[in-house]
Amino acid sequence: MWILYLIVLLAYFGVMIFIGVKTRASARSVQGFVLGGRSVGPWLSAFAYGTSYFSAVIFIGYAGQFGWNYGIAATWIGIGNAIIGSLLAWAALGRRTRIMTRQLDSATMPDYFGKRFSDNKLKIAASIIVFVFLIPYTASLYKGLGSLFNAAFGIPYFVCIIVMAVVTAVYVLIGGYMATVWNDFVQGIIMLVGIVVVIAAVLLNNGGFSEAINDLSQISANGQEGAYTSFFGPDLYGLLMVIILTSLGTWGLPQMVQKFYSVKTDGGIRKGMIISTVFALIVAGGCYFLGGFGRLVDSSSITNESGGIRYDEIVPQMIKALDQPAIMALVLVLVVAASMSTLSSLVMSSSSTITLDLIRGGIKKDLSHKSQMLLIRIFVAVFIVISAVIAIVYNELGLAFIAQMMGVSWGALAGAFLAPYLYSLYWKRTTKASCYACFVFGVVISIAALIISLNAGNLPEAFKESFIYKYFFSSSIYVGSWTMIIGFAIVPIVSLFTKKPDSKIIEELFAPYAVLTQETERLSDAFLAGRGHISIIGTETSEMAVNEGDATDNKEN
């Protein structure tokens, strides 16, 4: 059995490194290393988006926790991830992000903010937020991987972390963004196959779907029979908040939005949207559906000394109960793939932001191309090492602060960036003051929530019984969701009461959108008049308006 696991892992790691070596030619320039030369096709882009979205945190941690809390209704989270987090994200952000970032020649989200609002300080502020909150988010990736290896295979936690960190560092440092997206494609296929196989095996191990549902329906929640097999589960408010955070939150995460920067053509956006949505339905829907059966696991194997549930142990125990070496090996690679794909995306986003936005954008503006490449690679290694050390220290010392910080990271990033980014793509009146306001609000509220959660035991009972605590501060999920929602009000209100942006600059920035709209209307009129076949692909006119000489990209469509 150990030989099988070792062979599978070595083969997998060998493929990852081989891809890194094969794509090294694309990583010789800053644009090539960070964005793959903006020439990535729809399949690679869609799989890169999906694998960055869904990591071992979802498969192990979230699937176990939310499946335990909401039962089969947790599947709605996966459906929300597919519809809101993938389909609508690509539809609303994809083309406009691609056009605007090419207009501004921006490679990162902080760089976009700085150039969109002609304010270098705004770029630096966004860079600092990314730096502070992406590291603990990155560290959280190791937790799910370590839990599975330790529970199912008895492999020491720190060994798993070191191996994953080293292999990821090797292929990212060699091949850059193209190595990342090609490896994401391979990892995505593994995730698709693995989820389907694991769900089938777990259900069969519990007597089949009908028997598993029947057993789950016998478990009550607060005296309510069948709560964990009901349509919306035992806690509708909590379920909605999780859907909002994990689905809408992706719209404001730098490592997710950056995937749209590199798509080669407008047609690639449409194709990528469909592929990404199907991927999310299978992977996210499957993960949360699987987690919904978590209460069928022997509770003694997932209960800690104080009687609490170790959520990270639920899915590993479900896998361990199968006692199938081949499936165990597949799950092993599945979780490693899910972790490495997201890790590579996060460190690429973090390192490029620090080098291009914070150092070149503020500290040393005359940084040479060679120095930029060197610094990006150095920071890739630094981010991987720091996140690995945090994960090991957290596990060894059980630092509650780190655990809470990980939960706040997603909400802080999305709360700060989502609203100003979305408005800036669509609304000409959006001001830089509204961006600053949203940045401050998202960070301050997230830090305040972290402090409150760390001191929950010392809070007055009256406050803990209050409406604002129960439905806002009692969970980092509630905080993150409401921070994003409130941001949609902050941006327009502040924008209407602050200085308008320069109209000439704004009209130039939005000009490609107008060309695109006019061309779309012309084609629609031609179609309705029956004057010929219309191909729903995108237009060469819009491509030329964005980037002269880029129109040849449409040939592949």
Query: Over the stretch 211-262, which tens digit does the pLDDT of each residue have?
Result: 999 989 888 877 777 888 988 889 999 999 999 999 999 999 988 998 998 8
Q: List CB contacts of 287: < 8 A, sequence separation 6 or more.
A: 54, 58, 59, 62, 63, 78, 195
Q: List CB contacts of 299: < 8 A, sequence separation 6 or more.
A: 309
- Per residue in 19-53, pLDDT (tens digit) is 888 888 887 787 778 777 777 888 999 998 998 88
CA distances from 442 to 244, 401, 418 (A): 16, 19, 10
Q: Where in the chain is the domain with CATH 1.20.1730.10?
A: 2-358+365-398
Q: Provide the token pair at 406.
A: 């990980």
* pLDDT exceeds 90 at position 547: no
What is the predicted pLDDT for the residue at 297? 87
What is the predicted pLDDT for the residue at 543? 40
What value, to the nearest 5°, has the Cα angle with vertex 349 and ends 74 and 418? 55
What is the predicted pLDDT for the residue at 86? 96
Burial class, 485, CB count within 10 angstroms (exposed 0-12 / middle 13-18 / buried 19+): middle
* Orientation angle between helical segments 400-426 and 120-148, nearest 10 degrees: 130
Tell me the average pLDDT across 522-533.
50
Return the top range by mean pLDDT from 81-90, 149-158, 209-218. Answer: 81-90
Q: Is 340 helix (H, G, I), strand (E, B) or coil?
A: helix
- Per residue in 489-512, pLDDT (tens digit) is 999 999 999 999 888 888 888 888
Q: Provide the token pair at 305.
A: 């000394």
Bridge partners, 263 (sequence order): 40
Q: Is 157 helix (H, G, I), strand (E, B) or coil?
A: helix
Q: pLDDT-based confidence at 150, cuts 50/70/90? A: low
Q: Provide the token pair at 392.
A: 């090991």
What is the predicted pLDDT for the residue at 537? 34
The percentage of the chain sitting over the pLDDT mark of 90, rounded to a whole number, equals 29
What value, to the nearest 5°, has the Cα angle with vertex 525 and ends 523 and 530? 95
Q: Provide the token pair at 175.
A: 């091949």
Q: List CB contacts of 76: < 8 A, sequence separation 6 or more.
A: 232, 239, 243, 288
Q: List CB contacts of 253: < 8 A, sequence separation 6 or more.
A: 410, 413, 414, 417
What is the predicted pLDDT for the residue at 418? 95
Q: List CB contacts of 20: < 8 A, sequence separation 6 or more.
A: 170, 171, 172, 173, 174, 175, 179, 183
Fold of 2-358+365-398: Sodium/glucose cotransporter (1.20.1730)
DSSP H or E segment with residue 320: helix 314-320
Q: Which residue has the tokens 């028997």?
A: 211
Q: pLDDT-based confidence at 535, cuts 50/70/90? A: very low
207-230 exposure pattern, b = at least 16 Cβ within 10 A, e = fewer? eeeeebbeebbeeebeeeeebbbb
What is the predicted pLDDT for the residue at 117? 92
- Per residue in 51-70, pLDDT (tens digit) is 888 877 788 778 888 999 99
234 phi and psi angles, rounded to 5 deg: -80, -10
Q: Is 303 helix (H, G, I), strand (E, B) or coil?
A: strand
Closest Cα partner for 16 from 62, 51, 56?
51
Helix-then-strand count for the chain, H and E: 25, 0
Average pLDDT, the chain: 82
